[in-house]
Amino acid sequence: MRLPGRNERQALGRRIVDTCLAMNASGINQGKSGNVSARFGDAMLVTPSGVSYDALKPMDIVLLGLDGTPVEDGQLLPSSEWRMHADIYRARPEAQAVVHAHPTFCTALACQRTGIPAFHYMVAVAGGTDIRCSDYATFGTQALSDTMVAALQDRKACILANHGMICFEANLDKALGLAIEVEGLARQYHHARQLGEPVILSDAEMAEVLEKFKTYGKQPGKE
């Protein structure tokens, strides 16, 4: 198994802890719920189960193979949702970081088992013409991971039925930013529905948006 060194492990662990703290500070997650990971060579670093983010240290972040095998002895138990993270990394080579949270408005939609249609062009931020809601499965199971992978086809984010949301990106900052953006869209969609059924953009209109998004927000020399 190809793995970077201990210094890289500590540095990435620190960034994961910082992302967890920022996730809760942003209001998209509460308490110990949610989880964060990052690809680490041929493995991944993922938050442990049931540990307060305020108490997390960089070396508490659990190093797992993508099959769920612990890479180091004496580690804490990984998040019960490690399968979702691992399956994203296996299915999507471009994924470098994953954020799973229980934001209020995404979760409200999840409990109605509804996704976010193209009521606003910014839905394209997740990679397609809508943000899907997965089928329901019990948390921590392979069945949940399987339905999540299906909902993420050609997308970078999805809502998880009766659960929350999950997204991935090219790094931790972008993954957290996408999670915040998706929750903002869920909030806007909720409010729009209070006024009646929103007007949904057509596939042709969204195709034009998706083409423009290929260069949207990108600056020369920036990732």
Catalytic residues: 81
CB atoms within 10 A of CB 48: 17
Query: From its phi and psi, is residue 44 left (phi > 0), alpha (psi between -120 and 50) or beta?
Result: beta
CB atoms within 10 A of CB 76: 16
User: Up-side HSE of residue 35: CA atoms within 13 Å toward CB?
Assistant: 25
Distance of CA 184 to the CA centre of its chain: 14
Read off the tokens for 138.
Answer: 């019990």
d(CA 41, CA 83): 17
Read off the tokens for 133.
Answer: 């809601």
- The H or E element spanning position 192 is helix 172-194
